[in-house]
């Protein structure tokens, strides 16, 4: 069985995006959810609950943006 990424792992990716580690053109994490996808819907809900901006692109596909730095 494939293990899916957790909110902790997503937050690590978002921190790297916010720090510019992936370059200035990368502004969000692309997240696909589903049985054989890297993320679960609960991870996306957790990101929303923690204050991250989440945009639904289509069923099972989301863009999650890092928090704006103060």
Q: Give residue-wise pLDDT tens across range 27-62.
A: 999 999 998 999 999 999 999 999 999 999 999 999
Task: Please tell me the predicted confidence (pLDDT) of residue 68.
Answer: 80
The set of residues, in sequence order, having a beta carbon less than 8 Å from that of 63 and lying 6+ positions away, is: 28, 29, 30, 31, 54, 55, 57
Task: Please tell me the predicted confidence (pLDDT) of residue 4.
Answer: 85
This prediction has a pTM of 0.90
pLDDT at 2 over 80: no
Cα-based torsion angle of the residue sequence 50, 55, 57, 61 in order, rounded to the nearest 10 degrees: -10
Kindly list the domain boundaries of the chain, sorted by start residue: 7-65
pLDDT at 69 over 70: no
């Amino acid at each position: 069985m494939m293990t899916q990424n957790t909110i902790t792992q997503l937050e690590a990716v978002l921190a790297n995006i916010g720090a510019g580690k992936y370059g200035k053109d990368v502004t969000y994490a692309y997240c696909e959810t589903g049985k054989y996808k890297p993320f679960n819907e609960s991870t996306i809900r957790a990101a929303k609950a923690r204050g991250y901006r989440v945009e639904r692109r289509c069923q099972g596909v989301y863009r999650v943006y890092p928090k704006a730095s103060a």
